Structure 1
Amino acid sequence: MGNPTPKNVNKRKLFNFLLLVVAIALFFIAYHDLQLTSAPSTATTIKLSGWGGNLVEQKLLKQVLQDFEAQHPKIKVKYEVISDQYMDVLKTRLVGEAAPDVFYLDALEAPFLMSQNVLEPLDRYIAPEFDLADFEANLLNSFKYENQIYGLPKDYSTLSLFYNKKAFATAGLTNPPTTWDELRAYSQQLTGKLNRYGLGVVPELARQAYKIKAFGGQIVDQNGDATFASEVGLQGLQLVVNQYQKDRSSVQKSDVGTSSGSEMFGQSKVAMVIEGNWAIPYLTETFPKLEFATAEIPAINDKKGTMVFTVAYVMNKQAKHKAEAWELISYLTGKVGMEKWTGTGFALPTRKSVAEKLGYDRDPLRSPFVAGVDYAMPWQVGKYPGAIVNNFDNQFISALLGQQPLKQAMVKAQNEANKQIKAME
């Protein structure tokens, strides 16, 4: 056998080199796959739940959560929308220890959950630099129970008077009413002119409670029992009944074939309506030709009054990653996160500094809502809101329609509400 030629030697060397390259490549591929399958994830996942808002709200929240994740690379947020029966679903999951780490909680539902030892008190997480004093006190107090803070309010809305500028001009009215007597007179002047009726009425407790308070009435007492049928409280409700039945200058949504107070105002069925901040984007988008303005609700019995609705982020007491859950809550309710969330005007900031920075106290449409937060009545009616709200709403509409006297209807509602509360305690 002869010696291999130089040409064959070169071929063999090239072949061996290629084998080595392939072997190295296969090693790195296998190592990389091993890393992907066996290496633990370094990010902690926090589950956040809320109810489904409109598409604008959903898009805005997702953007804020992406910003949070970018600044907190070791925390991932899994956002879940509970679109139906929110509180029922949440209560079931809390009992079964399957609830999210962080979730929305409406002020109306807060007293019950805060009393059930299912929420994590937040006081020990709140550092001085978080600036708790920056929150509107009226809003923060809705999430305090037995001297502990269980939630931080993410946004709010009060109620204000919306009025049709063209209708006012037609009736020779130059300024919004400042007292309820003026509103009633305005309503009579506006009825049958440019609009069919002067005022749109929403006869739910959520829109009537401040009228009960204006004369010294209460919705519930310190024991949590319903007290809205008191003689003083009935005076506020009688204003609504008189205007609807005697003046015939006010109307409710079903009377004019609409689904909300905002819609009957937008469709020019009424010249005035009392609504929340949420009506501003709805009206501007749905009825772009409508010329309207807002004002604080006219004083009743020489007292300013309105309602305030707010929602907080709260932490599940069973959350496994509480430090990370707090990071999420503190970002969403901190100055930077809140400015991003409320910067479009879709919601109002609960921090005074953010509201000032965004100029909402000077905004022609939003300033009445900001002005009302200090004297507003929080939408909160004890531990068993369902019994209070459902019985009031069912009976008050009956009185408004003239099916029974107001006092009889309210006493019936109050007695039934207290009967149901006793059964639940």
Structure 2
Amino acid sequence: MRRALTAAATATALVLSTTACSLISDAEPVTITWWDTSDAKNEAPAFKALVKDFENTHPGIKVTYVNVPFTDAQTRFQTAAAAKKAPDVLRADVGWIPGFAKAGYLAPLDGTPAEPDDFYFDRKLIRQATYKEHLYGVPQTTDTLAFMYNKNLFTKAGIADTPVTWDDLKADMAKIKERTGADGFAFNPQAYFAMPFLFGEGTDLVDADYERITVNSPEAVKGIETLVSVLKAPGARKLDTTDKAYANIMNAFSNGKVASIIQGPWETANLFKGAAFADKENLGIAKIPGGSFGHGAPLGGHNLVASSTSSPAQQSASQKFIAFMTSASAQEKIALTNGTLPTRMDAFTAKVVFRPEIAAFHLVLKDGVPRQPIPEYTALYAAMEPNLVNILTGRVTAQQGLKKTSDQALQLLPDYRTS
């Protein structure tokens, strides 16, 4: 069942589609440009192969493939779109959709060949591709955070089950340190990785439905105080606040010096290169420990979006390309090659779920919490990060640090009220 669409929008989409299709069939082949923001070394080859498959099945469409580093892509697309020189299709982080759509850079995909079928796609993923009731992207890959652990170290420490609560984790960390010498847990001090502590108390950075800033709510303070207590507990690895913290933590975990971390599926391929996980079966993946409200982790991923400044013919070709790249067969190929998570249920085939790391992340996806549908949400992470480091290093209390984050959030969202 297709998503609902207003009559006016449907009529517009049909006119554009009909006009563009006639241009493709009656004129010379159409060329579209795709900016792929996947990892150039580990992921891009699989996408390049799919581009060739698409061109073979759509001889009237030529795709110019460009790999753009993910860290530069958001700014580069904004600059190009403002100059009306944007690529026809972009692989966009889910957090970019509201801002790009609000600025008018994206073409709505409602009622086009690209629109996903609700039967196959999780509604939470569609929500992250929607802004003000219009669809602006199609989910291509998804991800969330999970509790990753070294099974051998847990077994040596006499731990049979993964921690369900943060208190369970504290007890496990102490046993692991005492019985194996390895650190029980390491935390990357970035706001994104702290979100499970907020979700575990039933709160978020903001509540867009009620236009309320909640990052300094009592629930949020409790969540971050829990994080502080975990990192102070015996067995926790000393907090790394250097620019290389992420890489240092991943290196320590992949080499067996740390027993557990919070991480996403994008790192599994790299972890399997480490000494601790040469045997892939040694990597455990489970849901993140929960708080008093329950379990939760940020739901991420990438959507394919189309530029609003492309010609009608290019928009029609882009819609076909997006539909192809997000099809079940395409997503299956990407999952098997890159180890990433599909966004549609029928792409979780027997071959895909046979890979234990994908099967494990598939199970924890149900705890994924979609991002709030506001353009400023990603900027809230940036506002929180330095304050989080100050909290975790003891320079300020959780209440003080989150109050400052709330004040900064109010500058981004002046119409919102604070807790």
Please state which band the TM-score falls in when normalised by the shorter chain: 0.7 to 0.9
- In structure 2, the residue matched to 1:238 is 225
CA distance 1:346–1:397, change in 2 (3 Å): same
Structure 1 residue 350, shift from structure 2 partner: 0.3
Equivalents in 1 of 2:393, 2:60: separation in Å? 58
TM-score between both structures, scaled by the size of structure 1: 0.83
Name 1:200's counterpart in structure 2: 186
**Number of residue pairs matched?**
382
Quick one: percent identity of the two aligned structures?
23
Does the CA contact (< 8 Å) of 1:179 and 1:298 recur in 2?
Answer: yes
1:373 corresponds to which of 365, 368, 385: 365
CA offsets 1:366-423 (integer angstroms, 9 cap, x no match): 3231122223112457312353111211011111011111111110122023224449
CA distance in 1, matches of 2:32, 2:288: 41
* TM-score normalised over the length of structure 2: 0.84
Tell me the CA shift for residue 285 of structure 1. 2.2
After superposition, residues 7-406 of structure 1 pair within 5 angstroms as: 42-83=28-69, 85-126=72-113, 131-222=117-208, 226-247=213-234, 249-254=236-241, 259-287=247-275, 288-289=277-278, 291-301=282-292, 303-320=294-311, 321-360=314-353, 363-380=355-372, 382-406=374-398
Structure 1: segments with no counterpart, 5+ residues: 1-39
Q: Distance in 2 between matches of 1:150 and 1:318?
A: 14
Q: Distance in 2 between matches of 1:365 and 1:51?
A: 23
- Amino acid paired to 2:365: V
The aligned counterpart of 2:19 is: none
| Residues 266-307 of structure 1, C-alpha deviations (whole Å, 9 max, x = no match) | 122311111111221111123353632221222322512222
Structure 2 alignment gaps of length 5 or more = 1-25
Runs of 4+ in 1 over 6 A off after TM superposition: 255-258
Contact 1:225 1:418 survives alignment (8 Å): no
**1:408 counterpart = 2:400:** yes
Cα separation, partners in 2 of 1:42 and 1:124, compared to 1, 3 Å:
same
Q: Could you tell me how far apart the structure 2 residues matched to 1:246 and 1:195 are?
A: 15
Alignment RMSD, CA only?
2.5
CA distance in structure 1 between the aligned counterparts of 2:295 and 2:286, rounded to whole angstroms: 12
SS in 2 for 1:312: strand
Contact residue 108 and residue 385 of structure 1 kept, 8 A: yes
How far apart, in 1, do the equivalents of 2:174 and 2:147 lie? 16
**Do the aligned residues in 1 keep the contact of 2:97 with 2:129 (CA within 8 Å)?**
yes
Which entry has the higher C-alpha Rg, 1 or 2? 1
Q: Is the 8 A contact 1:155 1:348 kept in 2?
A: yes
SS for the counterpart of 1:344 is helix
Aligned to 2:11: none
Answer whether contact 1:392 1:410 (CA < 8 A) is retained.
Answer: yes
2:256 is aligned with what amino acid? Answer: S
Range with bigger deviation, 295-304 or 388-397: 295-304
Counterpart of 2:270, as a letter, is: Y
State the 1:183 CA deviation. 1.4
Letter in 1 for 2:261: V
Contact 1:391 1:417 in 2 (8 A): yes
| TM-superposed deviation, 1:137 | 1.5
Q: Which amino acid aligns with 2:230?
A: Q
